[in-house]
Structure 1
Amino acid sequence: MTSVDVAAEPAAPVPPVRRRRWPAVLAALAAGGALLLAFPNAGLWWCAPIGVALLALAVHRRGFWAGTGLGLLTGLAFLVPLLSWTTIVGGAAPWLILSAFEAGYLALAAGAAAWCSPLVDRYRWSWPVLTGLLWTGQEAVRDRYPFGGFPWGRLAFSQGDSPLLRWAVVGGAPLVTFLVAVTGGLLAAAVWRRSLRAGLVLGGAATALVLSGLLVPTAAPHGPAVTVAIVQGNVPRLGLEFNAQRRAVLDNHVDATLDLAAQVAAGKSRRPDLVIWPENASDIDPLIAEDADARARISQAADAIRAPILVGTLLYGPGDHTRNVALVWQPGTGPGDTYVKRHPVPFAEYMPLRSLARLVSDRVDLVRSDFVGGDRPGVLRVGPARVGVAICFEVAYDGLVRDTVTGGAQLLAVQTNNADFDPAEAGQQLAMVRLRAVEHGRDAVMVSTVGISAFVDAGGHTSDVSGFNTRAVAVRELRLGGARTLASELGPAVEYMLVGLGVLAFAGAGFIRRRSRRSIERGHDTGAR
């Protein structure tokens, strides 16, 4: 019987052994570093399964609390630098608290992986699958709790240039995360076996799994062609001072659109069917009488380009609250339909636990008026297209984007304002847009006040990618989508299934541990006689 044949059969439970601590600590830290390298700016997607494998090796055959501690090391090494852009808004303390809190989810998943070691030792084939299920499960919880969750750093968002990205058309981000983690589990099993033949077989399986994405067809939109312009007007100064430059930012976007209109009139550019401005292009409410000049300037731009503009702006009310909105501005008639951002960002657009948060950062009261969320999906008719709108961080949430597609969106638009962040955060956000385009079979745009802005086709490929902290205008022909992908139809069902299987696996590990404990107790009783 070969070593590979042995791996396919149930093996006897392996009794706990004392493993050296420091190699595991180093492996856990290296896992965090590898995960970090998988995301923009580095963007080395193949480092993601390596990071998963290193953590799986570090925690195997350890106790729950040891595994949790090692997982926390991985989470901190990964998320503290990944989320460093949050210091610009909140300062050092909120950045570190957020990073540590998010790392806690990975820590618990690593503890669960360690606790499930008897299951892996009895059924060796289960290691890669269990690894995928636990990663998907911790992301499912982290994406939702607390305050609606914070999905940054999902494995799926690291796979922009990976063949595995194409699997998003089948099962969305949860399936891509699952497959990345299964690949890592296969690599871990290959290293653990210490058998050349088994290692080659398992390593080959990992490679085949990654390459399997090349066999998955993406959904190309076959609707009418539309010409879309994106306008990145830039801001005078980056950082929190952006909010004190509201009129200058609006003027930048108006002037950039007027320049585009002049190029169209001179025959140097195609006339767009619709124009998309970023989030906060006008932080001045153009619908109130006190800001009639802002209304006039936006109308000037729309009339000059002779196309509707999707304006990212703020509207005051109800009461003392504010709304972050996408507003359709028609040439000749002015403001029309509006989408209100459904998921305001906690501790940035509204301040839960304000008195407690004030103890952590003196910037809390910069959020003077809490934003309120909308209650309808962001589907707006803009010229000839039904546009699915996600504002800023909303692109990270599966359901918010899917709702626009099931609501009839033919094109996806992500309006964002990265003036408070840095190029790394903008690159991470663009990676999410790429996945959403593939997931739903829709061409997409990301447009930012300062960058990065880009077009993304339904295959996840980018074009006209702008620089950061610069003015940019781009015009491109896109196709409108109609048919829904399998991922759009299934929605969260794939994630629910994977989480459910993870719970069953965890329960199975508990059953094996209980049986093993009883066997040991019976052995002790027999020896005593």
Structure 2
Amino acid sequence: MPQRLVLALLAGVLLAMAYEPFAVPVLVPVLVPLAVAAHTLLTRGLGLRRAFAVGLAFGVGFYYVHIYWMTTVALAAWLGLSAVQALFYGLLGSAVALLTRLPAWPLWVGTAWVSMEVWRSGWPFSGMPWGRLGFAVVDTPVAATLPYVGMAGVTFLLALAGAALAAVLVSSGRTRLVALGTLAAVVAAVGAAVALPWSSPATGSVTVAVVQGDVPGPGNDILYDFRQVTENHVQATVDLADDVAAGRAPAPDFVVWPENSTATDPFRDAGTNAGILRATEAIGVPVLVGALVDGPPGAVLNQGIVWDPVTGAGERYTKRHPVAYGEFIPFRGTPLELAFGDLARIQRDMLVGTGKEPLSIAGTEVAGAICFDVAYEDAIYDQVGRGAELLTVQTSNATFIFSDQVDQQFAMTRLRALETGRATVVASTNGVTGVIGADGEVVATAGIQETEVLVEELALHEGLTPAVRMDRFPWQVAVGLTLLTLTASLLPYSRARRTRRLRRSAAGDGRPTHDGGATPPPRRGADAMAEQP
């Protein structure tokens, strides 16, 4: 058992090597299935508790490496969040121990990986999607399958390949042939997607300016001088207007500022409002402003606001996935509230947005996403499915600017562009700001911790990828199958445990002990005499 635990820990670290900052794209399609195969082999054949321990060791090895960047927030945040997420891999270990007792078990292991990722991406509180298998495939051939099967489908393909590899190693005869055939089918699916990449005809184009104003002071504290942050974005937009007037830059159809480009309510703060007005009047086109807007007492909204130079503030997108213990405190006002230390700085809870319609900006239908939203399908799929032709991601990564989080998030954003078939603009306060084509390829990026404006003409698309059309259906199927197969495997597992207990009891006199075994009673009388030589 100790050997299994050590190997599982190392397998988890191996999986972490498939993501930024370690990722080597040519190795990722091998590393991910290998890690899944190791998780499967190390938990297969164990009882539920021992399989949980092995799976937990895998999760510890993976998650403590994968989100080491959380130490920039606090050591306790890294330790606590990683521990919670590792538990899901322990539960997956118990599930795999059961599912590998069924026929065609590589299929059920694949669906179990999807189900586990869906579960931990939404619970507890707002969940934590970081580390989904699909997020590792940027710049690999596997990424070509994203528009066809979506993020859940890519996780399934990778997990299925890993489970099939495990089956090849432990089986023989016809079973091994089936497992080899499954591996070949996954490779063929990836090859088909590479040979026939998803594309849809452009229905027009739009020129977008993306502003990165930079963060003063140390660069990792958006509140260090939040008024200067706003002024940086105002001035960069005014300077862009001067460049357009002088013919040094093309005229944009609209401008995108990042999340927290105004960290105080622009409707209540006169100076902030005047700065936005100065910028929009100078450039003469709408600006998508990232703003914190006061809500009811004790609440705040994180919004992207379309600010027109003539009519002022208009349509808004409100962040759909605020971060627990970062943007709101769960159980506020109850005995379960945790608001001590750095958490005491969170005085107001961020409300959850519910909007599904895209924003209309200068005649273009635009899907909004704010920072953490990009790790989830729902908000993006909802808007793209309702006509969005372009995707914008407003983010404030200042807290993590000296960590690998910014690269991991940018990789996710590139995958979302490919998955939805939409060109994407990313506006960050000080990095990574960039423009991404509908094929997921990077068109332009701004320098880290610099004031810079990117102006690019981007194609607009209306065609829906199969992934968007299927919406939540793939993971709903995976969850349903996992529940069914776990139920099917639990019944014989329970019967087998009862049978083992009965056999142990039969070895004695049937008198059970406190630990479920049987202790033979002392022999007396005729029985004792009968045993004498």
TM-score interval (norm. to shorter): 0.7 to 0.9
Aligned to 2:301: 323
Query: Equivalent residue of 2:17, what SS?
Result: helix
Aligned to 2:346: 367
- Find the aligned partners of 2:290 and 2:505 in 1 and give their Cα distance: 73
Which residue, out of 70, 73, 77, partners 2:57? 73
Change (3 A) 1:102 1:524: closer
- Find the aligned partners of 1:129 and 1:293 in 2 and give their Cα distance: 59
Aligned to 2:277: 299
Check whether the contact 2:144–2:190 (CA below 8 A) recurs between aligned residues: no
Q: Which amino acid aligns with 1:438?
A: L
Say whether residues 1:62 and 2:8 are aligned partners: no
Shift of 1:362: 0.1
Aligned to 1:118: 101
Range that drifts further, 103-112 or 42-51? 42-51
Q: Which amino acid aligns with 2:447?
A: G
Give the structure-1-normalised TM-score: 0.87
Q: Deviations over 1:114-172 (max 9, x none)?
A: 123322xxx3xx24312211100101111121213221111111111222222222232
Which residue, out of 80, 104, 117, partners 1:139? 117
- Find the aligned partners of 1:163 and 1:236 in 2 and give their Cα distance: 40
Range that drifts further, 337-346 or 55-64? 337-346
Check whether the contact 1:415–1:446 (CA below 8 A) recurs between aligned residues: yes
Check whether the contact 2:147–2:198 (CA below 8 A) recurs between aligned residues: yes
Equivalenced residues, count:
499
Shift of 1:343: 2.6
Aligned to 1:152: 130
Aligned to 1:177: 155
Change (3 A) 1:307 1:93: same
Which residue, out of 358, 362, 365, partners 1:383? 362
Range that drifts further, 271-280 or 143-152? 143-152
Which residue, out of 460, 467, 474, partners 2:440? 460
Say whether residues 1:395 and 2:379 are aligned partners: no
Aligned to 2:207: 227
Check whether the contact 2:329–2:337 (CA below 8 A) recurs between aligned residues: no
Aligned to 1:93: 76
Which residue, out of 300, 319, 324, partners 1:341? 319
Q: Which amino acid aligns with 1:59?
A: T
Which residue, out of 18, 36, 41, partners 1:52? 36
Change (3 A) 1:221 1:282: farther
Aligned to 2:394: 415
The correspondence of residues 238-257 of structure 1 with structure 2, limited to 5 A, is 238=218, 241-257=221-237
- Find the aligned partners of 2:338 and 2:119 in 1 and give their Cα distance: 27
- Find the aligned partners of 2:368 and 2:151 in 1 and give their Cα distance: 19
Change (3 A) 1:525 1:145: closer
Change (3 A) 1:71 1:237: farther
Q: Which amino acid aligns with 1:362?
A: G
Q: Which amino acid aligns with 1:243?
A: L
Shift of 1:340: 2.0
Aligned to 1:8: none
- Find the aligned partners of 2:383 and 2:59 in 1 and give their Cα distance: 32
Change (3 A) 1:225 1:127: same
What is the CA RMSD across the aligned residues, in angstroms? 2.7
Shift of 1:237: 3.2
Give the structure-2-normalised TM-score: 0.86
Check whether the contact 2:70–2:78 (CA below 8 A) recurs between aligned residues: yes
Query: Equivalent residue of 1:348, what SS?
Result: coil
- Find the aligned partners of 1:59 and 1:324 in 2 and give their Cα distance: 43
Range that drifts further, 185-194 or 429-438? 185-194
Query: Equivalent residue of 2:224, what SS?
Result: helix
Check whether the contact 2:277–2:309 (CA below 8 A) recurs between aligned residues: yes
Q: Deviations over 1:174-221 (max 9, x none)?
A: 1111111111112222333489x9697776566445434314532335
Shift of 1:254: 1.4
Query: Kindly, what percent of the aligned residue pairs are identical?
Result: 36
Change (3 A) 1:100 1:159: same
The correspondence of residues 257-336 of structure 1 with structure 2, limited to 5 A, is 257-288=237-268, 291-336=269-314
Change (3 A) 1:320 1:512: closer
Change (3 A) 1:395 1:409: same
Which residue, out of 398, 401, 404, partners 2:383? 404
Check whether the contact 1:228–1:273 (CA below 8 A) recurs between aligned residues: yes
Shift of 1:297: 1.6
Aligned to 2:473: 493
Check whether the contact 2:55–2:91 (CA below 8 A) recurs between aligned residues: yes
The correspondence of residues 157-172 of structure 1 with structure 2, limited to 5 A, is 157-172=135-150
Aligned to 2:530: none
Change (3 A) 1:281 1:378: farther
- Find the aligned partners of 1:266 and 1:488 in 2 and give their Cα distance: 42
Pair member with larger Rg: 2
Shift of 1:524: 9.9
- Find the aligned partners of 1:256 and 1:447 in 2 and give their Cα distance: 13
- Find the aligned partners of 1:274 and 1:225 in 2 and give their Cα distance: 12
Query: Equivalent residue of 2:222, what SS?
Result: helix
Q: Deviations over 1:218-259 (max 9, x none)?
A: 233511111111111110135663213111101111122222
Which blocks of at least 5 consecutive residues in structure 1 are unaligned? 1-20
Check whether the contact 2:436–2:444 (CA below 8 A) recurs between aligned residues: no
- Find the aligned partners of 1:72 and 1:522 in 2 and give their Cα distance: 31
Change (3 A) 1:176 1:111: same
Q: Which amino acid aligns with 1:464?
A: A
Change (3 A) 1:221 1:235: farther
